[in-house]
Amino acid sequence: MNPNPHSPTRIHGLPRGLSARVLSLVGGPVQRRLARWSQLLDVILAQEPDLQRKSDAELRKISRSLQFRAKSGEKLSALMPEAYALVREAGRRTLKMRHFDVQLIGGMGLFHGCLAEMGTGEGKTLTATLPMYLHSLVGRGCHLATVNDYLAARDAEWMRPIYEVLGLTVGVIQTPDKSDQRRAAYACDVTYGTAKEFGFDFLRDRLLLRRMGQGQDDILGQASQQRLEGGGEQPVQRGAHFALVDEADSVLIDEARTPLIIGSMGDKAREQVVACYQWAAANCGRFIDEEHYSYDHDTKKIELTAPGRILARSLPRPEHLREVGLIDMYEYIERAIRVQRDYLLNRQYVIRDGEIVIVDEFTGRLAEGRKWRDGIHQAVEAKEGLEVTVPTGQAARITIQDLFLRYKHLCGMTGTAGNSGAEFRRLYKMQPIPVPTNRPPQRRYLPDGIYGSSSAKWAAIVDEVIEVYRTGRPILIGTRSIDKSMHLSNLLRDAGIPHQVLNANEIVKEAEIVAMAGLQGKVTVATNMAGRGTDIKLTPNVIELGGLHVICTELHDAARIDRQLAGRCGRQGDPGSVRQFLSLDDDIVLAGFGPKRADKLKDMGENAVGEFRRLGKMFRRAQRLVERRHFRDRMILLHYERQRKKMQIEMGQDPYLDSADN
Ligand SMILES: Nc1ncnc2c1ncn2[C@@H]1O[C@H](COP(=O)(O)OP(=O)(O)OP(=O)(O)O)[C@@H](O)[C@H]1O
Ligand SMILES: [Mg+2]
């Protein structure tokens, strides 16, 4: 009898054996690679019965011999079949999860530096263990970068038994960690963390190294001590060898719009600058739209008109602001007006412990440590009456592109690469590889619910919740901001529907809330925080009832983000359904078409209920316009950063550190 009940498997959508060989001759380059890799599956399968009979200690011994062979120069690609068979056995043994064939294929793509496109819920967490293990063999550290602390910690702890049974150590970086903890985590064979933490650690190390180069005294100086968070005199990272980026579209595309920046300590002129922000915040309310200033809806730029400038000049100014130039004063006012209009509490930011914390537009999470540029952050602080933090002096910065291109080996995986394939190829030299699903997906997309106004939309959402709640199926409702999640929570409370809320204010309870979300009768209102990576486990009775129902309350700035939310249901061949709700006063309409067209559509829409089906397309068009604009922003940033870097290098300066006399 065959000891392996799984042999030989046939991959859904990908023929094996002879037909694979035919495919390898006639298919495109991607097909040819997939076909070539799928031929290795048999080699891996053949080792399985033998490995299954081995003890844990024997597995570790095999692992050690692989490490030895890798370190003595044997090519990792030659070791791949043995390594992957070993990791598969480790997964089966420790987690009762035996890597599916498609996951092995994904793992091969990752090893070869590709972008593995594997659908939501296909098991990318488990897939990642394959290339992480293989690259760790040479002993130079492997980083798995993801989007938030919760996923970094969850994945590291979840996969830890696999690594440990093979004799590897696992480290996790969490935002609050001190440098000693970080150094220990980076010293492990594999290290899980967020892309941001990997980036900030790189920059902090860089600053430290420069300080060290400047002499011992300086290292012990108070300023650098504080800047390095009391860190020791050693860098925390040990080079950039291999990085696997999970949720690659979010990390490498969406978040790449803003570089990572470390600001630094105070300055003598600080007080004056602070006073300017406060003065502008206190007075900007006197300026009237179209009379004192003009507002450009595309660029969000404010410009004072002639009467506006007169008003600004006539405002009483504290004594020590007299020497600040007029043009600067206008700018302070313009910025304060812009912040008053466009930066809203609990929408773009929250206040925590007296500090502004940005709410990431894409992930719905608090973007700890990130700051808006061009004085916006300080203007917001002044508006809220908080301490105004003025960054001056030395700072370090790096773009996401530069950060990840520094790694010798880079690969990524995501469920939603969407139409960003060319961007991945061009900016990161990553070839997207579509990996077939393990089982055909059973997610049902229900027709859109389109409404003339947001109040009608929210009412319809509550109705839908009530209806599905009666059947006992769990419901996940995604909202675009914290205040919208609170708004819906109030509506549900009024309707008598018990529910839990997951937003950036509830981050400590995140794991608990997610663990409950798949139980019968659970209703969970979430921001985009739950939009990526979260794996909502269903009980067998819930699967029988039809699985999780996902309600999307609005379109996001990129279709990929919507697909991520939808991907919380219908995972691993489970049943599930999704409905998108839309209303004509949704942000996306305004963002895509601008205020004039948005208003026109609204007038038309409110009278034309029957037309709504056709309008669904219009929403997607607005979304595509926003996507395109963001693409343009990214290209501009990239161009600008490239120029900057080139100049710094030409001047013999460190491209990631601002010059000391700046
Ligand atoms: N080989 C396997 N055997 C059994 N279960 C598996 C296997 N691979 C994955 N799973 C299960 O599939 C579910 C989804 O896994 P995971 O969260 O890693 O998916 P994902 O691809 O990362 O999804 P997302 O795109 O949403 O992040 C998990 O509950 C996991 O236990
Ligand atoms: Mg995942």
Q: Which fold has domain 442-583?
A: Rossmann fold (3.40.50)
Average pLDDT along the chain:
87
Ligand 1 within 6 A of 570 CB? Answer: no
pTM score of the predicted model: 0.81
Name the residue at shortest CA distance from atom 9 of ligand 1. Answer: 123
- Among the bound ligands, name the one nearest to the CA of residue 572: 1
Helices (DSSP H) in 438-568: which residue ranges?
A: 454-471, 482-494, 510-516, 540-545, 559-566
Name the residue at shortest CA distance from atom 17 of ligand 1. Answer: 535
Cα(381)–Cα(387) distance, integer angstroms: 6
Name the residue at shortest CA distance from atom 11 of ligand 1. Answer: 123
Per-residue model confidence as pLDDT tens digits over 97-127: 999 999 999 999 999 999 999 999 999 999 9
Calculate mean pLDDT across residues 4-20. 47
What number does the ligand 1 atom closest to the CA of 537 have?
A: 29
Of the chain, the end-to-end C-alpha distance in Å amounts to 74
Q: Which pLDDT value is given to residue 23?
A: 57
Per-residue model confidence as pLDDT tens digits over 143-176: 999 999 999 999 999 999 999 999 999 999 999 9
pLDDT at 141 over 50: yes
- Among the bound ligands, name the one nearest to the CA of residue 125: 1
- Among the bound ligands, name the one nearest to the CA of residue 571: 1
- Ligand 2 centroid to Cα of residue 415, in Å, is 8
Name the residue at shortest CA distance from atom 18 of ligand 1. Answer: 123
Residues 79 and 30 sit within 8 Å (Cβ to Cβ): no
**In which order are the strands placed within the sheet that holds 115-117?**
170-172, 190-194, 142-146, 242-246, 409-414, 115-117, 432-434
pLDDT at 322 over 90: no
- Among the bound ligands, name the one nearest to the CA of residue 127: 1
Was domain 17-263+399-434 assigned CATH 3.40.50.300? yes
What number does the ligand 1 atom closest to the CA of 567 have?
A: 26
Q: How confident is the model at residue 383 (pLDDT cuts 50, 70, 90)?
A: very high
Q: Enter the tokens of residue 214.
A: 């400047």
Ligand 1 within 6 A of 368 CB? Answer: no
What number does the ligand 1 atom closest to the CA of 416 have?
A: 25
Comparing 17-263+399-434 with 270-392, is the CATH topology the same? no
Which of the two residues, 296 and 237, has the higher pLDDT score? 237
Q: How confident is the model at residue 612 (pLDDT cuts 50, 70, 90)?
A: low
Name the residue at shortest CA distance from atom 14 of ligand 1. Answer: 121
- Ligand 1 centroid to Cα of residue 561, in Å, is 19
With b meaning 16 or more CB within 10 Å and e meaning fewer, what string describes 241-269? bbbbbbbbbbbbbbbbbbbbbbbbeeeee
- Ligand 1 centroid to Cα of residue 103, in Å, is 10
Name which CATH class applies to 270-392. alpha beta
Domains in the chain: boundaries: 17-263+399-434, 270-392, 442-583
Name the residue at shortest CA distance from atom 3 of ligand 1. Answer: 97
Percent of the chain with pLDDT over 90: 61
